[in-house]
């Protein structure tokens, strides 16, 4: 039978301490130098997110895989998919072209809204979340600003509310929401 040699207690800890004896002062020096860029203890904790608002409209993109991956960090949360039809456009069509055209536009927007909500809801892992869908008509920024305080986070497309360009990669509606909403807003 072969004899098994066992290292004396403390040998490994002595080796580890000897190997890393110069690391601690360097680590403290790095922490001091990069203090502004390192996370604080509070920032290391994952915030409690139970209610998530995802506004959608005709310009919005579907949530990306990164967004869905982010959502999986908060299983059991409630997600509201809110499709908003621009009420101002409906009013302008009614005043310039007529009531029938405004109703036709509204009907098409409702169909598009239902399809978009179904499509986005299908991409979310519904076994992990409670997903609710809702359609509204009105001012896109005002509606989000009014209801945002009932949620823990807003996840919004950069294109929400208007077309974007190379010089303006975020729509003006999203910029307004970012300035007026007091809860965290994630852009995708």
- In tens digits, what is the pLDDT along the chain, a chain of 188 residues? 566 665 566 777 777 777 777 777 777 788 788 888 877 777 777 778 899 999 999 999 999 999 988 888 888 899 999 999 988 888 888 899 888 988 898 899 999 999 999 999 998 887 888 899 999 999 999 999 999 999 999 999 999 988 877 778 889 999 999 999 999 999 99
Whole-prediction pTM value? 0.73
Query: Any residues with CB less than 8 A from the CB of 81 and at least 6 apart, and which?
Result: 54, 56, 117, 120, 121, 131, 132, 133, 134
pLDDT at 6: 58
* CA–CA distance, 168 with 119 (Å, rounded to integer): 27
Q: Are 129 and 79 in contact (CB under 8 A)?
A: yes
pLDDT of residue 24: 72
Annotate 90-134 with three-state secondary structure.
Answer: HHHHHHHCCHHHHHHHHHHHHHHHHHHHHHHHHHCCCCCCEEEEE
Q: Residue 109: count other Cβ atoms within 10 Å of its Cβ.
A: 20
The pLDDT of residue 57? 92
Residue 145: per-residue pLDDT: 94
């Amino acid at each position: 039978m072969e004899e098994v040699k066992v290292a004396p207690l403390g040998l490994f800890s002595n080796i580890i301490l000897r190997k890393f004896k110069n690391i601690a002062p360097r680590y403290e020096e790095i922490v001091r130098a990069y203090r502004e860029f390192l996370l604080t203890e509070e920032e290391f904790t994952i915030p409690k997110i139970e209610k998530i608002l995802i506004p959608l409209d005709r310009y919005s993109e579907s949530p990306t895989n990164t967004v869905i991956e982010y959502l999986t960090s908060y299983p059991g949360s409630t997600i509201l998919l809110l499709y908003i039809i621009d009420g101002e456009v409906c009013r302008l069509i009614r005043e310039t072209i007529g009531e029938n055209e405004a109703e036709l536009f509204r009907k098409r927007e409702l169909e598009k809204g239902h399809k978009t909500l179904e499509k986005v809801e299908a991409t979310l892992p519904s076994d992990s979340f409670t997903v609710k869908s809702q359609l509204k008509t009105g001012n896109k920024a005002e509606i989000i600003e009014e209801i945002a305080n009932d949620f823990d986070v807003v996840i919004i497309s950069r294109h929400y509310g208007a077309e974007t360009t190379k010089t303006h990669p975020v729509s003006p509606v999203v910029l307004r929401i970012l300035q007026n909403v007091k809860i965290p807003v994630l852009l995708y």
